[in-house]
Amino acid sequence: DIVMTQTPLSSPVTLGQAASISCRSSQSLVHRDGYTYLSWLQQRPGQPPRLLIYKVSNRFSGVPDRFSGSGAGTDFTLKISRVEAEDVGVYYCMQGTQFPNTFGQGTKLEIK
């Protein structure tokens, strides 16, 4: 199974400041079709997960442009340029390249 490792596991951030979360996979996430199925999801308290970023760097419908994704191969990053109060929650990276699809442990974003 592909292991996804996120850092940090907790991220206290000041409102309006930037936040960054890293995700490393135990093997390459490049699918045989040439795409890299690495996505980022947000789970606000008491809510189901919500897709933010797919295929490394594509924002899903309705996602604010302060969220951005980057990376390649086995190393990936989610950045939030200016954190807002509504961004509080847990962020997961997920690989969809092979089953079992796997998630990172989650990074809890909280406001200082």
Residues of this chain that bind other proteins (CB under 8 A):
31, 35, 37, 39, 41, 43, 48-51, 54-55, 60, 90, 92, 94, 96, 98-106
Torsion sign across C-alpha atoms 38, 25, 33, 100:
negative
**Least distance from C-beta 63 to other proteins, angstroms?**
12
**Least distance from C-beta 59 to other proteins, angstroms?**
12
86: helix, strand or coil: helix
What is the residue whose two structure tokens read 């419908």?
61
User: Which residues lie closer than 8 Å to 101 by C-beta, 6 or more apart?
Assistant: 94, 95
**Closer residue to other proteins in complex, CB, 4/13:** 4
**Closer residue to other proteins in complex, CB, 41/80:** 41
Residue 53: its H or E element: strand 50-54
**Least distance from C-beta 37 to other proteins, angstroms?**
5
